[in-house]
Structure 1
Amino acid sequence: MVLTSDKKSDASVSARDFAAEEVNRALVLRFYEQFFNEHQTAEAARLLAEDYRQHNPTVPDGRAPVVGYFTQFFKDNPQSRARIVRSATDGDLVYLHIHSTNGPADRGVAVVDIFRVKDGLIVEHWDVIQPVPAESANSNTMF
């Protein structure tokens, strides 16, 4: 029997550039706050690559289409906010755990956003979204 592991070797972990990862994390946090909480889509989009690649099937690729999509979304949903609960990095990837709501009465959704950063710009995005239920089988929160 052969066992494999998803864990990185100690050598690859020690080769990480934590200072560069922190720069990427700060860039993504700045983008997220300005874009999703201040709704300053055009200004925040300066941190997106022109050919930004989107893996959420409801959002288009490209900087300009993303700005257009979310500008309209925030116009229709002015109370939309996204609270960053935690963040992490791994190389060129930045991970955010988010509680996104659309007004004070909205239970919201739990989101894990993954951004890839290259040359000081966000070039790619993935997300996983789960509604926050009214009841849970345990006493833990999603955040």
Structure 2
Amino acid sequence: MAADDIVVIQAEYPGHGPTDAFTGFEIIRLVDGEPAQRWLAMQPVTGSPAVTDAPDHAEHPERTGLSRRIVESYTDDVLIGGSLPHISRYVVTDLVQHTPALGSGIAPLCAALANRLMCYRRRLLTVADGEFVLTVCTGGVHDEPAVFYDLYRVDQAMIIEHWSVTTPVPDSLPWSAAQDRCPATSV
């Protein structure tokens, strides 16, 4: 997925054995068409992720603006703002969840958010391409500082699919120089 000067790659990275595969996001910021900054966020694959027939690229580029608005509103209203009763405005009840620890459907996600297992505090980056939108947010997991990389697929103005990687907060983020230019806004 690509938008403006940001390229996002979501992939599974095989390991050297049957149980050490990783899933992650690579985010590359381009300057004059050349890679200027890069960030790789990975976590071990646990459990069996949901399998769907989702496209592996944006099939509806005309939906970029709408998809971005839906995901940014969801992130700001529900994840950061804590308005959990509004979740059904943004997310379908049969959400396909590619994070096995959460389980598919909206109920496990609501439980994790209600119990404050995941606490989103600030949206740093949004990249949208058609029906796919990636957000990068800071916050915490069990009160430990974390960065949330969330990729959503939007269809019929609702979030229908979700992939995520959660990592400890690094010393610096690749877009930190751009943060002064556009803090907590879309790229």
Query: TM-score, length-normalised on structure 1?
Result: 0.69
> Are 1:35 and 1:45, in contact at CA under 8 Å, matched by a contact in 2?
no
> Are 1:51 and 1:62, in contact at CA under 8 Å, matched by a contact in 2?
yes
Code of the aligned partner of 1:71: A
> Are 2:123 and 2:138, in contact at CA under 8 Å, matched by a contact in 1?
yes
1:11-26, aligned counterparts within 5 Å? 16-17=61-62, 20-26=63-69
Q: Give % identity.
A: 22
Q: Deviations over 1:67-111 (max 9, x none)?
A: 23321236xx7xx333111111122100112112369xx672122
Give the structure with higher Rg (CA): 1
More strand, by proportion:
2
More helix, by proportion:
1
Q: Which residue of 1 aligns with 2:145?
A: 108
Q: Distance in 2 between matches of 1:132 and 1:101?
A: 9
Question: Post-superposition shift, 1:59?
Answer: 0.8
**1:94 maps onto 2:133 in alignment:** yes
Query: TM-score, length-normalised on structure 2?
Result: 0.54
Q: Which residue of 2 aligns with 1:61?
A: 104
Unaligned stretches of 5+ in structure 2? Answer: 1-56, 177-187
Unaligned stretches of 5+ in structure 1? Answer: 1-11
Code of the aligned partner of 1:90: D
> Are 2:64 and 2:131, in contact at CA under 8 Å, matched by a contact in 1?
yes
Corresponding residue SS for 1:73: coil
Specify which of 29, 41, 56 is matched with residue 84 of structure 2. 41
CA RMSD between the two structures: 2.7
Corresponding residue SS for 1:56: coil
Code of the aligned partner of 2:123: I
Q: Which residue of 2 aligns with 1:130?
A: 167
Corresponding residue SS for 1:65: helix
Corresponding residue SS for 2:115: helix
> Are 2:61 and 2:131, in contact at CA under 8 Å, matched by a contact in 1?
no
Residues 65 and 107 of structure 1, relative CA distance in 2, 3 Å threshold = closer
